[in-house]
């Protein structure tokens, strides 16, 4: 049992390992990679490599703090302790909202993916069924959440491994390509490796952020991991290799087989590769994979938002009732509230104009950058606090700190600049001030309410 939060440590090592992989592999790789390839050409692999290293350092900073205190509140709780109450409030609510709007988009996507097999089925029906399904999974037990995430992640892994094997055979032996080895010359034949220059590569960084959104979920699982001191470091250390194999490996194979200028985004590169080898159901297979990936994202979103509301409540940043735990040791009230908000979002998505919905979901991008930035900045404060107390930080340390902390923060600042340059993505920067303005109002309101309640309680005691 996690005594500090009354949560059951029911997530095994295999659950944590696959949750870490699942968090790093999103729908974007299967469907959205063609758009990113068009923007940067083969140099997209460099974007993923650089950002993979950045994500690794960020996760090592988080891992070091997790071993100090393995709880579900994770980075929100650490920000509260080492920076101040405002940091815990901002980080917790921003992370909650980022997952909520991501969940809205993913639940809606489930409805769209189901029309592949049932074109006459109203989209809201499978969307509602999916929401109820993942809600019940989370409500029953944390172990059931971990089990479904394990299998959802495994489906993605098997698909990517199949692509890598088929792709390497096409490159080296010509299988599925009239018996002629494809080779790798497509990586530089069409306007070079950097067809749109360094700026073209940098402009894809915000797309890469989308791809890795959710990798920090490992931190939220820490409070319910069976053996966090062993499983968390292992999962984090393997992140860089997973990025190299699954992302860069897949992109290498795809762009070696097909000239990048031919990938126009009208269909998934995975479908093209599978069809070329003679798999007639390629489109159906990939549709099934992205369907499970969307369900996985919803499942993770409900899990993390329920825990984050519980943590916010424990710090008096949210109503007291949200901290309630049911007899199965899951934060049932927080889960229910998050699902209800998600349901409202799904309904709104059918009535609100698409552009308005884009504005709302753009907060997810800023929310991810804020969360990652706060993890790294909190780690700087954490190290100083440990030093001031004369304590040694855990043996699982962030390499090169504090220099690497500042490198990560500078890099995240560059991503924000790139978002501002990209006309399709800059809406996130327009929406962000409104969101943080609401948080400022909310923080001062809850602080004043807490002070009033505290003074009333003191008067009663007197």
Are 121 and 247 in contact, with CB atoms under 8 Å apart? no
**Which region, left, alpha or beta, applies to residue 265 given φ > 0 means left and ψ of -120 to 50 means alpha?**
left
177 vs 362, residue with greater confidence: 362
**Which range has the top average pLDDT, 81-95, 177-191, 388-402?**
81-95
pLDDT of 34:
77
Mean pLDDT of the chain, nearest integer: 85
Residue bearing tokens 């809600």: 135
pLDDT, one tens digit per residue, over 356-393 is 666 777 778 889 999 999 999 999 999 999 988 887 76
pTM: 0.90
**In the predicted model, what is the mean pLDDT of residues 42-51?**
91
pLDDT at 178: 66
For residue range 439-453, list pLDDT tens digits in order.
999 999 999 888 887
Among 7-21, 22-36, 218-232, the least confident range: 22-36
Residues 6+ positions from 216 with CB-CB distance below 8 Å: 23, 58, 59, 62, 75, 371, 372, 375
Give the model's pLDDT for residue 224: 81
19 pLDDT band (50/70/90 cuts)? Answer: confident
**C-alpha–C-alpha distance, residues 91 and 88, integer Å:** 5
Residue 379: what pLDDT?
96
User: Considering only CA atoms, which of 425, 460, 449, 399 is closest in space to residue 202?
Assistant: 425
**Mean pLDDT of the 49-73 span:** 90
**Does the pLDDT at position 277 exceed 80?**
no
Q: How far is CA 456 from CA 73, 244, 312, 444, 461, in A?
A: 29, 57, 22, 18, 9
pLDDT, residue 355, reads 67
Percent of the chain scored above 90 by pLDDT? 26
| pLDDT value of residue 64 | 93
SS3 call for 135: helix
pLDDT of residue 382: 95
Please, which residues bridge with residue 11 across strands? Answer: 225
Q: Is the predicted pLDDT of residue 312 greater than 90, yes or no? A: yes
Tell me the pLDDT tens digit for each residue of 412-442. 999 999 888 888 778 888 888 999 999 999 9
DSSP per-residue codes, 443-459 = HHHHHHHHHHHHHHHHH
DSSP 11: B
Residues 6+ apart with CB under 8 A from 296: 22, 148, 149, 152, 153, 156
Residue 353 has pLDDT above 70, yes or no: no
H/E element, 378: helix 354-388
Average of pLDDT values for 147-165?
Answer: 88
The pLDDT score that the predictor gives to residue 270 is 82
Using only the alpha carbons of the chain, give its radius of gyration.
22
pLDDT for res 363:
76
Separation in Å, CA 403 to CA 54, 379, 390: 12, 12, 21
pLDDT at position 149 is 87
Closest CA to 315 of 3, 97, 44, 5: 5
* Lowest mean per-residue pLDDT among 19-23, 76-80, 296-300: 19-23
DSSP H helices, 115-227, are 124-140, 142-172, 186-189, 197-202, 205-212, 217-221
> Given this model, what pLDDT does residue 378 score?
97
* 2 phi, psi to nearest 5 deg: -85, 100
Q: pLDDT-based confidence at 276, cuts 50/70/90?
A: confident
Per-residue pLDDT band for 175 (boundaries 50, 70, 90) equals: confident
Residue 342 contacts residue 348 (beta carbons within 8 Å): no
For the chain, the first-to-last Cα distance in angstroms comes to 38
Nearest Cα to Cα of residue 301 among 348, 346, 252: 346
Q: Is the per-residue pLDDT at 260 higher than 60? A: yes
pLDDT at site 459: 56
Give the pLDDT confidence score for residue 456 in this predicted structure.
67
> 13-448 belongs to which homologous superfamily?
Amino acid/polyamine transporter I (1.20.1740.10)
pLDDT at 394 over 80: no
pLDDT at 115 over 70: yes
Of 187, 254, 207, 290, the C-alpha closest to 36 is: 207
pLDDT at residue 395, as a whole number: 80
């Amino acid at each position: 049992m996690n005594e500090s939060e009354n949560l059951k440590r029911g997530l095994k090592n295999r659950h944590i390992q696959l949750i870490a992989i699942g968090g790093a592999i999103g729908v974007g790789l299967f469907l959205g990679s063609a758009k990113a390839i068009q923007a940067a050409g083969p140099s997209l692999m460099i974007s993923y490599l650089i950002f993979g290293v950045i994500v690794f350092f960020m996760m090592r900073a988080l891992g070091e703090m997790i071993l100090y205190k393995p709880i579900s509140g994770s980075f929100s709780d650490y920000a509260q302790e080492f920076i101040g109450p405002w940091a815990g409030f901002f980080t917790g609510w921003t992370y909650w909202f980022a997952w909520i709007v991501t969940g809205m988009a993913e639940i809606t996507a489930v409805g769209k993916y189901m029309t592949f097999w049932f074109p006459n089925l109203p989209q809201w029906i499978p969307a509602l069924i999916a929401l109820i399904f993942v809600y019940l999974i989370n409500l029953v037990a944390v172990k059931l959440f971990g089990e479904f995430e394990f299998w959802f992640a495994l489906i993605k892994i098997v698909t990517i491994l199949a692509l890598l094997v088929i792709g390497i055979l096409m490159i080296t032996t010509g299988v599925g390509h009239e018996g002629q080895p494809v080779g790798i010359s497509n990586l530089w034949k069409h306007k070079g490796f950097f067809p749109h220059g360094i700026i073209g590569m940098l402009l894809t960084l915000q797309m890469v952020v989308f791809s890795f959104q959710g990798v920090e979920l490992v931190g939220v699982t820490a409070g319910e991991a069976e053996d966090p001191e062993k499983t968390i470091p292992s999962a984090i250390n393997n992140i860089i290799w997973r990025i190299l194999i699954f992302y860069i490996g897949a992109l290498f194979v795809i762009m070696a087989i097909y000239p990048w200028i031919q990938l126009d985004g009208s269909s998934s590169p995975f479908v093209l590769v599978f069809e070329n080898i003679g798999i007639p159901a390629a489109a159906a297979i990939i549709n099934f994979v992205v369907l499970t990936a969307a369900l996985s994202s919803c499942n993770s979103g409900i899990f993390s938002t329920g825990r984050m509301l519980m943590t916010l409540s424990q710090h008096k940043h949210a109503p007291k009732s949200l901290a309630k735990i049911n007899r199965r040791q899951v934060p049932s009230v927080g889960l229910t509230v998050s699902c209800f908000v998600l349901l409202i979002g799904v309904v709104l998505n059918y009535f609100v104009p698409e552009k308005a919905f884009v504005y709302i979901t753009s907060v997810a991008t800023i929310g991810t950058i804020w969360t990652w930035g706060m993890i790294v900045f909190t780690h700087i404060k954490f190290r100083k606090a440990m030093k001031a107390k004369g304590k040694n930080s855990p043996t699982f340390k962030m390499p090169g700190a504090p220099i690497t902390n500042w490198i990560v923060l500078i890099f995240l600042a560059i991503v924000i600049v790139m978002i501002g340059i990209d006309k399709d993505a800059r809406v996130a920067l327009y929406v962000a001030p409104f969101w943080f303005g609401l948080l400022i109002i909310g923080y001062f309101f809850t602080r004043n309410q807490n002070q009033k309640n505290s003074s009333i309680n003191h008067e009663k005691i007197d």
